[in-house]
Amino acid sequence: MNFTDRDRAVRAAVAEGLVGAGEPVVGLLDIAGIRRSAAELRAAFDEFTAPGTPVLHAFAVKAASLVPVLRVLAQEGLGCEVASPGELALARAAGVPVARTVLDSPAKTRAELREALALGIAVNADNPEELARIDALMASAPSDAPLGLRVNPQIGGGSIGAMSTATDTSKFGVGLRDEGAREWVVRAFLDRPWLTRLHAHVGSQGMPMELMTAGVRALYVLAEEINERAGRRQVDTLDIGGGLPVNFSSDAVTPTYREYVAQLHATVPGLLSGRYGLVTEFGRSLLAKHGTVLARVEYAKSAGGRPIAVTHAGAQVATRTVFVPESWPIRVAAYDAEGRPKTGAPVAQDVAGPCCFAGDLVAENRPLPLLESGDHAALLDTGAYYFSTHFAYNSLPRPGVYGYAADPDGTVRFATVRTPQTLEDLTAESGGAHAESLHDLGRQ
């Protein structure tokens, strides 16, 4: 049998007790893999952009809101795209410089905007009202922060409605095809010499590459139009968002960053010609393939003739997969009690989680070697938006997360990314300090 680094990490995690009776579920991150993806992203843009083109790859923090991961990405030359005060705090805790931080969010408060402008963080305004707030802030305390406007090219949605941000009625950005909107956008720039960036993020998972490049093309054409009308290169940077889809059905990475940038090069050559600086905001495509949720099988049972493995990984770590399984199917790999890949004839079975609702299944009727109590189920490709985006159902604690790397001799080393949440943490987070607070409220 050919062991992958993931197989070795699973075996070592079981041997070291990172997962076991006390900690029945854990998140594992392949740190060498993350570094490799970051390098591939940089290399793809380096290959197709004119020498000297400024390019900032800002990792979308929501995809893996874990400080040590942001730090590794910063080491690899990436910045952060943040969308809340919490995400900004994580980026700062990771030591990501403000010059490598971009703030996008549809609901920035005045205080958030004031702070970002004071720090010099790049901000993309989402809508006319937000731009008016920025006008007021710029009038009272001019800032050198790079400022942009998010637009929605309204080029249509992908295969997952909730992930499609370029439909006619998407909540993000200024809809370019709405009546009068394009002219409004051009005027917004002509009236504000400090507005120098355009931003679009047309969707995540489920967007075909053709639609993504069409969105970027619309952004580029708009920038050219604004600059033409301004008579100068007022728009100097294009933020093209993230959204490269991930293949959840095998270990293959497809599409690759190189394929995407090659397609951008073919459809929007001016984009990479050096006339514009670039910002990207990839999330899922940098991390997904490098994460594994590893959970113990607590019980094996059957119902209606179908075997069910009751594991400790369900909606709390695989929220989207459990609630919208048709859009977010994931692969499950079976490992035995010692963490060795399970062999044996595939048997169609359900892989269930620990949550108290019937739909808490990460895989339904899935052919796998029959899981038994004490075995382990591994949810693959879960490095982005899974264990970093906990859902606190049933007061299930956030699992520990560990980074790993395999030495050439096969030895696996772990480092703590996040310690498991304790029951004390959980109680405190759930109002534990206020147990008596309702005692006299509402009594006759």
Residues in the interface with ligand PLP (CB under 6 A) total 17
Residues 241-270 that bind ligand PLP (CB under 6 A): 241-244
Smallest separation (angstroms) from ligand PLP to the CB of 252:
18
56 binds ligand PLP (CB under 6 A): no
Residues 203-222 that bind ligand PLP (CB under 6 A): 204-205
Handedness of CA 263, 266, 267, 270 (dihedral sign): positive
Q: In Å, how far from its chain's centre is CA 440?
A: 44
Q: Between 14 and 90, name the residue whose CB sits nearer to ligand PLP.
A: 90
Q: Between 28 and 279, name the residue whose CB sits nearer to ligand PLP.
A: 279
63 binds ligand PLP (CB under 6 A): yes
How far is the C-alpha of 99 from the C-alpha of 253, rounded, in Å? 30
320 binds ligand PLP (CB under 6 A): no
Identify the DSSP state of 341. B
66 binds ligand PLP (CB under 6 A): no
Residues 70-109 that bind ligand PLP (CB under 6 A): 81, 104
Smallest separation (angstroms) from ligand PLP to the CB of 201:
4
Rg of the chain over CA atoms, in angstroms?
24
Structure tokens at 154: 């309204």
Q: Between 14 and 41, name the residue whose CB sits nearer to ligand PLP.
A: 41
How far is the C-alpha of 286 from the C-alpha of 290, rounded, in Å? 8
Is residue 301 classed as helix, strand or coil in its secondary structure? strand
283 binds ligand PLP (CB under 6 A): yes
Q: Pick from 48, 220, 260, 282 the residue near ligand PLP by CB under 6 A.
A: 282
How far is the C-alpha of 378 from the C-alpha of 413, rounded, in Å? 19
382 binds ligand PLP (CB under 6 A): no
- Classify residue 170 by burial, with Cβ atoms within 10 Å: 0-12, 13-18, 19+: middle
Smallest separation (angstroms) from ligand PLP to the CB of 70:
14
Smallest separation (angstroms) from ligand PLP to the CB of 327:
13
Smallest separation (angstroms) from ligand PLP to the CB of 82:
10
Within 8 A by CB and 6+ apart from 94, the residues are 67, 68, 70, 71, 74, 80
Q: Between 335 and 385, name the residue whose CB sits nearer to ligand PLP.
A: 385
Report yes or no: 63 and 283 within 8 Å, Cβ to Cβ.
yes
Of 95, 144, 107, give the one whose Cα is nearest residue 122.
Answer: 144
DSSP H or E run through 52: none
Smallest separation (angstroms) from ligand PLP to the CB of 281:
4
Smallest separation (angstroms) from ligand PLP to the CB of 103:
10
Smallest separation (angstroms) from ligand PLP to the CB of 62:
6
Number of H helices, E strands in the chain: 12, 18
Q: Pick from 11, 62, 312, 376 the residue near ligand PLP by CB under 6 A.
A: 62
User: Cα separations (Å) of 395 from 11, 296, 313, 402, 422?
Assistant: 28, 18, 13, 22, 11
285 binds ligand PLP (CB under 6 A): yes
Q: Which residue has the tokens 């998972």?
A: 205
Which of the ranges 187-195, 197-205, 370-378, 413-421 carries the binding residues for ligand PLP, by CB under 6 A? Answer: 197-205
307 binds ligand PLP (CB under 6 A): no
DSSP H or E run through 116: helix 110-119
How far is the C-alpha of 184 from the C-alpha of 177, rounded, in Å? 11
Is residue 19 classed as helix, strand or coil in its secondary structure? coil
End-to-end Cα distance, the chain: 71
Q: Between 245 and 339, name the residue whose CB sits nearer to ligand PLP.
A: 245
Q: Pick from 12, 34, 60, 125 the residue near ligand PLP by CB under 6 A.
A: 60
DSSP H or E run through 138: helix 128-140
Q: Between 7 and 87, name the residue whose CB sits nearer to ligand PLP.
A: 87
Is residue 383 classed as helix, strand or coil in its secondary structure? coil
Q: Between 60 and 272, name the residue whose CB sits nearer to ligand PLP.
A: 60
How far is the C-alpha of 93 from the C-alpha of 67, rounded, in Å? 7
Smallest separation (angstroms) from ligand PLP to the CB of 106:
9
Smallest separation (angstroms) from ligand PLP to the CB of 60:
3
Smallest separation (angstroms) from ligand PLP to the CB of 285:
6
284 binds ligand PLP (CB under 6 A): yes
Q: Between 244 and 380, name the residue whose CB sits nearer to ligand PLP.
A: 244
Identify the DSSP state of 422. P
37 binds ligand PLP (CB under 6 A): no
Residues 223-242 that bind ligand PLP (CB under 6 A): 241-242
Residues interacting with ligand PLP, by CB under 6 A?
Answer: 60, 62-63, 81, 104, 201, 204-205, 241-244, 281-285
